[in-house]
A and B are shown apart, each in its own frame.
Chain A
Amino acid sequence: MIMHVAEAGEQRGRVVLHITSGHPNPVALEAAVRIAQAFHSEIESLFVEDLQLYDMASYPFAREISLTGSRSRALSRDAIERDLRLAGRALCRRVEALAHEAKVPLRTRVVRDDPVQALAKACAEDGPWNVVALADVLAPGQGTRLSELFANVAGYTGLMLVGPKARRTRGPVVAVIESLDHLPPMLRAAERMASVTGGVVMAMLLSDNAHDAQHLEEQTRLALGDQAKVLLLRCQIDQGAPAALAEAIRRLHGGFLIAHFGGILVPAHGDLRDLVAALECPLFLMR
């Protein structure tokens, strides 16, 4: 949605906020609202009650270890159902409050399904200009979950996710430009995001060798013309060093990082573990 809406100058689209646990990341929730705000789109909050939890609770020996580890209790289908219902309601209220404050239209939906399947269905129902916002922190050990998601879900144009260090959405919007093809739509998306994050737009020109970097910069400067509001940053990274880029963005106090899925920074089949672990802001991945 992001690139296409921004490119087309259209004022529609949808943010699907995918929530699969009772403990979503607050920065992720806020980031979802900011995106909706920037593109004048609505949010669909999709709280998925994982069917596997019901299966697990059906076991007579099923027990739950509390978050502090100090106590455990026997689980039942009724208990897990009640817990999920309560968690869903609380989350709905939380998202409603955020959306209300940001004056963003909101739809809430609670489904009982496999989380990936539920998301795939939601995107398929009203696609393709959706952006999926993952409300749960993508922990470094959850790379497989992301791969599964990319493989199984269609009908979305972008994905927003946060890492365990995510702490802000305010600040400069850093768009990582790897090719001239992506320059105009990514800058327009970044400008829209910057209008709600209170920061400026920084175009980080990323290449893996000096020649490409020089060429990219020249072409970008030509394309930008007199757009003085965009700050250009040149960055050359070796293959497999996204953490260094994350550190550079951290120093810029970036509020959002916009990157292209399938490029140098985020290879189509690469591991996001290092990048996500270091980022202090949400990451937008454009398809």
Chain B
Amino acid sequence: MAFWKSQPSKSDKPEEGKATATQAATAAGLSTAPSHTPLAIAELRRAVDPATLGFKTTSELEPARGLIGQDRALKAIQFGADMASHDFNIFVLGPAASGKTTAVRQHLERKLKDLPIPPDWVYVNNFETPNRPRALKLPPGRARALVKGMIAAIDELRNTLPTMFEGEDYQTRRRAIDEEFRSGQEQAFEGLNAKANSQNITILRTPNGFAMAPMHEGKIVKPEVFNTLPETMRKQIEQRIEALQKELAEIIEKLPKTDKQRRAKLSELNEEIAALAVHEALDDLAASFSDQPEVLSYLDAVGRDLIRNVGIFLAPAGEENEIVKQPADTARDPRFRRYMVNSMVSHNGDDPPAAPLVEELNPNYGNLIGRVEHIAQMGALVTDFLLIKPGALHKANGGYLMIDARKLLMSPFAWEALKRTIKSREIRIEQPSEMSGMMSTQSLDPEPIPFESKVFLLGDRELYYMLAQADPDFSRFFKVQADFDDSIARSTENDQAYARLIASIVMEHKLKPLDAAAVSRIIEEGARLASDREKLSIEIGRIADLVREADYWAAQAGRDVTTRADVAQAIDESIQRSDRLRDRAQETIERQIVLVDTTGAKVGQINGLAVLQLGDFAFGRPSRITARVRMGSGRVTDIEREAKLGGALHTKGVMILWGYLAGRYALDVPLALAATLVFEQSYGGVDGDSASSTELYALLSALSNVPIKQSYAVTGSVNQWGEVQAIGGVNEKIEGFFDVCKARGLTGDQGVLVPRANVQHLMLREDVVEAVKSGKFAVHAVDTIDQGIEILTGIKAGTRGDDGEFEAGSINRKVEEKLRAFAERGRAFSRRSEAGGNDSAPASDNGKPFT
């Protein structure tokens, strides 16, 4: 807040001249400068005559196909796409909204038909090493056949295997095996039982085994009865029981071994029966892939596993209806997952089949490389080969892949993964957490899939050069740069091409046609966007926005054809939506909060011009620059720099002033000058050298004590020879000062000085051109400082005569005289100091005595 209150006091103000510069010159005996002609109307804006376009509305035009004026970039794309080497990938660089993405896509779409259709890829279970799924390469379009074929085969087995195992043949043979062993056991048991019974001994089942006792008429003989028997008989019975117990133990001991033999025989039978069904089910599939040895090898492995695990087909699933035998979806049945096929890339859905062109809009690691997903099961994360998901690299394999470079770089691990893929020429799916060694959960290590695609990275120039500098791999793998220009040269042919481009936008967005005047207005706006009357912006996005907005306003006005007025309204409305800060800046000047004079003349004070860029919107704003001078040791103090508000370029500009002053006015005397330069009421920092000529004018005014007309604002940089050089944002700067003057009332004396080199960039607003046309405003182009100072002061700048002196009454003469005076006074001070050893002798700014 203190900034706004710190108004300079009257006493601090530089010498003011109430009268005009001419009057002051006359009074001071100065020579009046010759008149300088401002720029003609035609030089302020290059208009397009609608009649020269040769059509009434865009509906008569054939829309442009592709981009205009991007031959170099398109040739580079063509070259990169045609180069077979894997490291000749393409970085497409150009400004945002330049249409590069669309152009690349359209160009590549045309090329796709020339490429061979790439193979399909599937992942299948690896029956030997389940955590390393096998990748199978298939001819294009046959992945789906394998997927469906495997489902059909398993479906068939789900029907045939239970039938076969319930069939008479199997059951009979199984019964035979069972009976063979059971009857063996039973015979042994029954034999032993019969033997025991014949000896009046019974075998009883106890809770933990078997026991024997003497029997009579089917019942155990009571012990007390047994004890009444003769001892010899009792002994005899005991011995028989003992012998029978041994036999029983032997029979029982043989049971496990016998059962093992039975199971082995049953396994053989099961495999034999299963093999019949499995071979039957897989034979058709194997026949249809008989030209694919890898698939046949896989089917062999499937067959072996099916035969080994035939039990899963016989155990009913929970959801299966046992009566109607309606199977659950085989592909979803967890029992059969390992026989399913995961189609990673399939090309039979295309119409017509073609190599792929994939644009990955979200190029994070998983979307790019693919991922192994997990599902939670009983609190644990589990996965299998069916949960491998393809990434953009898989989908684009054999074709082209387009990626936004900035998004890619912002995604962790994605850039490194892409480089690794290009380098190794294979897509290897690894989870980022695995790469960093953070994951302990068991995951998959799928076989890599060979990678053969061209990668197109799209980004802006800054990104390209940053990558080129920061990452040595970048240049190795992206050897082709397709540089999209942001403008084309302006000519009648290009104007017409531009019109066709507008016609294509109309067609693409289904808009109302534009009449020729509207198109001419858009072409003019294209030149304005290019900041160059000799160029046309080809930022397609911005042009398309303008055409669509104009269409909206035409619709609001109830017109069937978009007119020039609609385009103008679209431009005005667009500016209005984003110029709040410009209005605030303008208001502070109008309310005298920011001090900018637009009338009168003052010594050492001048109006400079700056451009503020806010997003897509830029506007000019005048600001006051002042200079004060005194005797010193030859130093121009740039207050912006001292306050650390000035950038390097601004400092450079100020140093150039010093070179100019010293070289022109102090060839044979010391430059005993101390000067201060400042952008008044500037709090946000200053950079660029576009105000260096302005600062020089202020210095010359201060040195010559000749006032500068405040009705002018100045822009332009200067070199050491006093030549005024081109700057940027010339249109916005002129319009910024014009808006201030217009708000205060145009007097007819107001105008702007711009470097002559910038005349070719002038595409001023129509209201500025109108003001100039009616003599209320002027734009002067200057080549040198001398021309500029004459316009600003009305006093002749002056040249050196044969006597080596500048003309009397000229600005330069006054400047030189002032500098000589400073030098003389400085020398006098030095002499006095040396003679008297006077410590009070003035010191130079750097602490050394004047010499």
Contact = CB atoms under 8 A, between A and B. Distances in A.
B14 to A, nearest CB: 105
A67 B208 contact: yes
Nearest to A57: B211
A272 to B, nearest CB: 16
Nearest to B221: A55
A286 B222 CA distance: 37
Interface string A44-76: 000000101101111101111111111010010
Contact of A65 (B189, B190, B210): B210
B211 A69 contact: no
Contact of B207 (A62, A68, A83): A83
A251 interface: yes
Contact of A63 (B186, B220, B245, B251): B245
A163 interface: no
Nearest to A83: B207
A22 interface: yes
Contacts of B242: 61
A21 B205 contact: yes
Contacts of A200: 323
A251 B209 contact: no
B433 to A, nearest CB: 44
A53 B206 contact: yes
Nearest to B189: A141
Contact of B208 (A50, A66, A251): A66
B207 A84 contact: yes
B222 A251 contact: no
Nearest to B172: A247
Contacts of A253: 322
Interface string B346-376: 0000000000000000000000000000000
Nearest to B206: A64
Interface string A65-105: 11111101001000010011011000000000000000000
A72 B249 contact: yes
B219 A52 contact: yes
A172 interface: yes
B322 A52 contact: no
B587 interface: no
A140 interface: yes
Interface string B202-237: 001111111111100001111100100000000000
A13 interface: no
Contacts of A80: 206-207
A171 B210 CA distance: 36
Considering residues A56, A57, A172, which has the most beta carbons from chain B within 10 angstroms of its beta carbon? A56
B546 interface: no
B255 A59 contact: no
B258 to A, nearest CB: 12
Interface string A220-260: 00000000000000000000000000010011010000000
A210 B791 CA distance: 131
A199 interface: yes
Interface in B161-195: 166, 171, 186, 189-190, 193
Contacts of A247: 171
Contacts of B241: 61
A87 B205 CA distance: 13
B503 to A, nearest CB: 72
B355 to A, nearest CB: 53
Interface string B530-542: 0000000000000
Contacts of B255: 69
A80 B223 CA distance: 15
B198 to A, nearest CB: 16
A94 to B, nearest CB: 14
B223 A53 contact: no
B248 interface: yes
Considering residues B193, B209, B238, which has the most beta carbons from chain A within 10 angstroms of its beta carbon? B209
Interface string B8-25: 000000000000000000
Given A65-B210, A65-B245, A83-B206, A172 B323 contact: yes
Interface string B666-682: 00000000000000000
A83 B208 contact: yes
B204 A66 contact: no
A199 B208 contact: no
Considering residues B208, B220, B252, which has the most beta carbons from chain A within 10 angstroms of its beta carbon? B208
A21 B248 contact: no
B207 A87 contact: yes
Nearest to B190: A141
Nearest to B175: A278
A141 B204 CA distance: 14
A188 B171 CA distance: 33
Contacts of A57: 211
Contacts of B251: 69
B211 A62 contact: yes
A76 to B, nearest CB: 11
Contact of A52 (B190, B209, B220, B226): B220
B249 A69 contact: yes
Nearest to A164: B182
B211 A58 contact: no
A171 B324 CA distance: 12
Interface string B244-263: 01001111110110000000
A102 to B, nearest CB: 20
Considering residues A59, A64, A70, A83, which has the most beta carbons from chain B within 10 angstroms of its beta carbon? A59
A59 B242 CA distance: 13
Nearest to A22: B207
Interface in B303-344: 322-323
B330 to A, nearest CB: 21
A150 to B, nearest CB: 17
Contact of B322 (A56, A64, A72, A171): A171
Contact of A61 (B190, B238, B252): B238
A124 to B, nearest CB: 22
Contact of A68 (B193, B221, B238, B252): B252
A52 B204 contact: yes
Considering residues A52, A70, A87, which has the most beta carbons from chain B within 10 angstroms of its beta carbon? A52
Interface string A134-154: 000000110000000000000
Contacts of B245: 63, 65, 72
Nearest to A252: B323
A57 B222 CA distance: 10
Contact of B211 (A22, A64, A141, A199): A64
B323 A56 contact: no
Contacts of B252: 65-69
Contacts of A72: 209, 245, 249
B191 to A, nearest CB: 11
B744 to A, nearest CB: 96
A167 to B, nearest CB: 12
Contacts of A66: 208-209, 252
A56 B322 CA distance: 49
A69 B253 contact: yes
Nearest to A277: B182
Contacts of A56: 204, 211-213, 220
A199 to B, nearest CB: 7
A59 B223 CA distance: 6
A7 to B, nearest CB: 27
24 contacts: A23-B205, A50-B204, A52-B204, A52-B213, A55-B220, A56-B204, A56-B220, A61-B238, A61-B241, A63-B212, A64-B206, A64-B210, A64-B211, A65-B211, A65-B245, A65-B252, A67-B210, A68-B252, A69-B250, A75-B206, A80-B206, A83-B208, A87-B207, A200-B323
Given A61-B242, A63-B212, A172-B322, 17 more contacts: A21-B207, A52-B220, A53-B206, A55-B213, A55-B222, A55-B223, A61-B241, A63-B245, A64-B210, A65-B209, A68-B256, A69-B248, A75-B206, A75-B211, A83-B208, A141-B186, A171-B322
Interface of B: 166, 171, 186, 189-190, 193, 204-214, 219-223, 226, 238, 241-242, 245, 248-253, 255-256, 322-323
Q: Which 5 A-B pairs have the closest CB atoms?
A: A69-B252, A22-B207, A56-B213, A69-B253, A87-B207
